[in-house]
Structure 1
């Protein structure tokens, strides 16, 4: 069965990547529409490397009736207006924004981790895509949790500027160029200079409650991991923006309820879906963001015992945030939806 698919926010980084991945994976498409804001109406964009060009349509007057799936990469503002409209028209929404992630009536899905949760999508006809850093982390955690039960996770992220959109990428480029030629620039997208620097601040600071002093991005990682994987897992995160264009990295320390050896964890991860284990204890025997760009996998390296806690492991996790952290996961959800539900309804 082929589906009629809409990509909303098609001119942005994630929207373009959605189109690329739909083409790469040969998603069964009967028709496809590229939709964005009024300022992009009439623009021509490529449908991946298929050779097909799409004329961008205006979201304000786009009719979702008769379309099967809408992949939203438009941000929370437009999504709040148009996702319910699409869902009410019978078009299942897969949303990349944070708007619906913690809604109890909206499944939050990483297909390698909790595919069964998609069965609840009919309550609102909306499915949520997790935060980019959460997505790659839970792919790494899931197979280990199944064996030894995770009690606590301490994670520090090293998040690329593409997570802040095209404006973030442009700011890194312009600041880097300016430093080399002696020009000065004032930070606009980020709170401090991002070129040749790191910024321990992503999202607004929280003012009250148990997570006072954390940022919204850090709380997302906690709450989303609990919803996707297990509400009993404790997560504390420090999210840092780094001067990398694409690819998020994470240093993860895991405390388990049951003993698990490095050798056992290595064997489990090597056979787990969505994971590529590259763990050689030698110069260059690990993956960095440069190597992960354009790849579907979540890469695991630097796997070792954490001797500071009982049943502890530490690892390094890297993934292309525009792919697994956003566009790829959304397309995988669409594939899962087709296998579990849309074919049955056909």
Structure 2
């Protein structure tokens, strides 16, 4: 049994359902789960989607996590807990894949997975970044070497041990607080190769194409097929584009760097809007502090930049 899962709340439930449709199309043999960190009662859930409410997980201090984390921090903080819960629910699982709600499959992923490995991680970059005023190496270091939006494991004592270690650290160390060495669930992935020596980094150009890739990889349509640097496109990630993302929303202008990626995002948005119309869900997420960040984000960043200029000037004298 192969399981693919995602984690969301009402903010990105429509995105999760768009992902589910792409999984049904390209990985029809996989069981798809939505880990729901919300209190919604969903009446129209498609047959190919299984729901796993956070209330069914035995997360220690979840109430404290929900009270202290913002909703966009709480979602990634629960990801390894859902992984453990799924493996407990399905001990027959041979392969567990996490994809964030903003991922969209365009091809089957099985051909990327070599035998002999227990964990597959997604790099944020696979080559030195081209010069850009929007994204640079320092920002990638802040985000971490690996992208937490896509990873795959084959259950073993080592991978389950790594999940347990990771999960217990997200209870109180998954804030978006770069100055104190935290970036939701992501930075802990840097340690996974130490826990699981049989870890493979997926450098395939067609895997996980998003804002982290547009500067270095070229997505084109050739002979009617989407390719990235000569490799078939396997998956897209629209993190930072559909709703607020603490890292990737800062780099949203990069979407214009590649016309095919931009066109794919517009097509994806239409699929998501259709899901939103069908769901008719409103209100704020039930768990986590709600942060209405997006409307004033650019203004706040502009003020911060001016204040930094002023303090730098004062420091000179």
> How does the TM-score come out when normalised to structure 1?
0.31
The structure richer in strand per residue is: 1
Higher relative contact order (CA 8 A, sep 6+): 2
The structure richer in helix per residue is: 2
> If you compute each CA radius of gyration, which structure gives the higher value, 1 or 2?
1
> How does the TM-score come out when normalised to structure 2?
0.33
